[in-house]
Amino acid sequence: MKFIRDLYLNNRLFQAAAGVVFVFIISYLVGANLLFAKGLLLVLIAFLITDILLLFHTRKGIYGYRQTPDKLSNGDDNEIHIHLENFYPFTVQLEIIDEIPHQFQRRDVLFLQTLSSRKNETILYHLRPVKRGEYSFGAVRVFAYSPLKLVRRRFSFSNHALVPVYPSYLQMRKYELLAISNRLTEAGIKKIRRIGHNQEFEQIKDYVPGDDIRVINWKATARRRHLMVNQFQDERSQQVYSLIDKSRVMQMPFNGLSLLDYAINSSLVISNIAIQKSDKAGLITFQDTIDATLPASRSNRQMSAILEVLYNQKTGYRESDISVLYSYIRRKINHRSLLLLFTNFESMYGLQRQLPFIRNLARQHLVVVIFFENTELTGLIEQPASDLRTIYYKAVAEKFAYDKKLIVKELQKMGIQSILTPPQNLTVNTINKYLELKARGMI
């Protein structure tokens, strides 16, 4: 039964059979000798049996497996490898079909490969998930052809692999490596000049040419009889909280990824950067109630805890209530902290309802309100108007875009920091703002 299940007739066989039938019909109509047609049929049957023997004589003709990461990174191109090895004594042609999870809605993951005898090959392709959760891979189907190509044999490998999709840990690692090597400018992070000195003293050291003469320690210089200078370091152990709004306003999709997932990916990166800068990173998610909380810390396990909390975040499509967030922060966070509020406002009315509570938060903490440009409206505004309907659409789009700028000005008027950013630039702009605030000594 397994032999029958794995045996597939190729189109070439059907074409040859059709040719033999045609010869039979012509020979019958003209009354010619049928021996020639019978001979063709015998030759076809002989080739068919030979091809079947070639493919099925070797029990383990093709070996292969799929190699996936332990978890996939949401919103990123993840590498998937398919490894193949040919145990046949001849070169085979292969059709490889990978049964990828249904969430990708793709039916084009098919590869054609020629594989020499006793050789192995690796096929690399990429998958970009746009939703967190568990993704179920099916089997890797490999169809092998002998040089005769009359039939093909099916092989199946790597059945039913279950791989979770986590927030963008690839993006987190990328910025972590750039931060460690002081190469953040390569990712678009601005190099910000430090204003003044932070107040956290580190040590007294010998003066070397190039040191700031304004920090010379004259008492130490008198004792040691050569110039000594004070050395300062960035203030450490500041608390940085990512406040993520999970309400319905964060479900708008851009490039397949919701605003909530953009915020989650950015929170993961900025938390890691904060810990690299010796600050403490924490997390709060909310809608009309407080959902998940993680106190600020810089322990070795903090990033793993943040990743796990972010993985499980889903929306209930309810309205957000920042008054509940304000009450919780007032009770639980006693030290002045940097609060990065990831939310979205589409109109001044939406801001005015929440503004009193944001102002109350800003009296005790440094609040940065982060919300999103509607890039689809930007494309509509830049589109040339050719008729009255297009002019009307452009006017409405410009009104909404102008409201976003008014929201920024309103927040500035209240002394509240803000970031208005396209979704794809969210992470870079958030890191820039964090480094700017650090450089200005505001946290």
Which pLDDT tens digit goes with each residue over 44-57?
A: 778 778 878 888 88
Give the residue-averaged pLDDT of 5-28. Answer: 58
What pLDDT shows up at residue 71?
94
Binning pLDDT at 50, 70 and 90, where does residue 189 land?
A: low
**Contact present, 55 and 91 (Cβ < 8 Å):** no
Binning pLDDT at 50, 70 and 90, where does residue 158 land?
A: confident
What pLDDT shows up at residue 112?
93
Strand partners, 84: 64, 121
**14 pLDDT higher than 80:** no
Residue 210 or 310, more confident:
310
SS3 at position 86: strand
Q: Tell me how far CA of residue 65 lies from CA of 68, 119, 138, 140, in angstroms.
A: 10, 15, 12, 7
What pLDDT shows up at residue 36?
62
What pLDDT shows up at residue 155?
92
Binning pLDDT at 50, 70 and 90, where does residue 42 land?
A: confident
Question: What is d(CA 126, CA 214) in angstroms, rounded to the nearest whole number?
Answer: 55
**368 pLDDT higher than 90:** yes
Give the residue-averaged pLDDT of 373-386. Answer: 80
Report the amino acid identity of residue 438.
K
**140 pLDDT higher than 90:** yes
Provide CB contacts within 8 A for 136, sequence distance 6+: 101, 102, 160, 161, 162
What pLDDT shows up at residue 106?
85
Find where tokens 């957000």 sit: 320
Provide CB contacts within 8 A for 89, sequence distance 6+: 58, 117
What pLDDT shows up at residue 315?
84
Tokens at 356, concatenated: 């009193």
Strand partners, 370: 342, 419
**What's the number of CA atoms in the CB half-sphere (13 Å) around residue 302?**
25
SS3 at position 7: strand
Residue 404 or 232, more confident:
404
**285 pLDDT higher than 90:** yes
- For a pLDDT cut of 90, what percent of the chain falls above it? 49
**Contact present, 416 and 359 (Cβ < 8 Å):** yes
What pLDDT shows up at residue 174?
84
**39 pLDDT higher than 80:** no
**What's the number of CA atoms in the CB half-sphere (13 Å) around residue 336?**
7
**237 pLDDT higher than 90:** no
- pLDDT tens digits, residue range 296-345? 999 889 999 999 999 999 887 888 999 999 999 999 998 899 999 999 99
**Sign (positive/negative) of CA torsion 431, 437, 438, 443?**
negative
**24 pLDDT higher than 80:** no
| Minimum mean pLDDT range among 147-151, 306-310, 353-357 | 147-151
What pLDDT shows up at residue 125?
95
